[in-house]
Amino acid sequence: AVVGAGIGGTAAAYFLRQRFGRSVLIDVFERGDVGGRLATVRVEGRDYEAGGSVIHPLNLHMKHFVKELGLDVAPAYSSLLGVYNGEDFVFEESSWYIISILKRLWYYGLNPLRLNMWVEDILDKFMRIYRYQTHDYTFSSNERLLHALGGNDFAEMLNQTIDESMQKAGFSHKFINEMICPVMRVNYGQDINTNAFVGFISLTGVASGVWGVKGGNKLVCNGLIYAAKAQLISGTVRFIEPKTRPNPAGGTHNLYYVTYNSTSGPSSEMYDIVVIATPLNNKMSNITFRNFNPPIPEFSNPYLKSIVTFVHG
């Protein structure tokens, strides 16, 4: 079973099918719409991305999914950059590329060039994840995964703000406040005090070459469920409990008892594997893990709510 039909859950269902073949049954639980944060909003007959709107060119899994599912890539729309400080535009790009380069050098020195090099260096390390996945490596925690990818540099980013991390890398206060802070506000509604690793992910979203799926990125999620031949169950998972059953060989077999609410009322099923692909915050998923040893702690940290307003002009 997979709990959550966002991009993580639907991709998990797809990879489970690839791993175990046609003989297994895969159920995907979703209480809302398929796609999760890859949501769209319909305005005047057109769909607009309201969640994860861009895909990085080095996201090899998404490139594979789009090709495998026969989806089309949406044309990229380019626009000029302007930085507004609340009173005036402190920087405006030119429609002439060379003039924009000269203006950046004049205003921010080598900081923009160094930013590209800094982001590329981190991305090169992060790309190691595909090598680990190819060889079926697994990690027991996010910290161990990130340390395997980027060593102490990645581990430090978990305990720094993006401001601290970039200052340590030698970027100027002016550049961080005028160029980096707006990116954090646009992507996550936060400032330069956000976590350094989160901030880095935010910066990759403004890189050149980012793309999307024609019709909405959520089409990938729908396609993955179909490709995985998974059964989509519209319901809310309430409890998960480990159970032990005897097997024909005389030993025991570990299973998971999943209780959920659907439109037809409370139901339950037994599964060999349960993948949690939904936020474990109590106010969002509120899944109770019963009789696990060691116990699974409650996840009480709140999520930041980002509000997007669409204006029809």
- State the pairing for strand pair 212-213/265-271: unpaired
What is the 8-class DSSP label of residue 95? S
| Residue 182 phi, psi (nearest 5) | -60, -35
28: exposed, middle or buried (Cβ count in 10 Å: 0-12, 13-18, 19+): buried
How big is the chain, counted in residues?
313
The pTM for the full model equals: 0.90
pLDDT in tens, 198-232: 999 899 888 778 899 999 999 999 999 999 999 99
| HEC-encoded secondary structure of 244-282 | EEECCCCCEEEEEEEEEEECCEEEEEEECCCEECCCCEC
Res 3 pLDDT > 80: yes
The domain limits of the chain are 2-58+62-70+214-289, 111-208
Residue 189, Cα to own-chain centre: how many angstroms? 16
Res 75 pLDDT > 80: no
Write down the architecture of domain 2-58+62-70+214-289 according to CATH: 3-Layer(bba) Sandwich (3.50)
> Averaged over 169-182, what is the pLDDT?
94
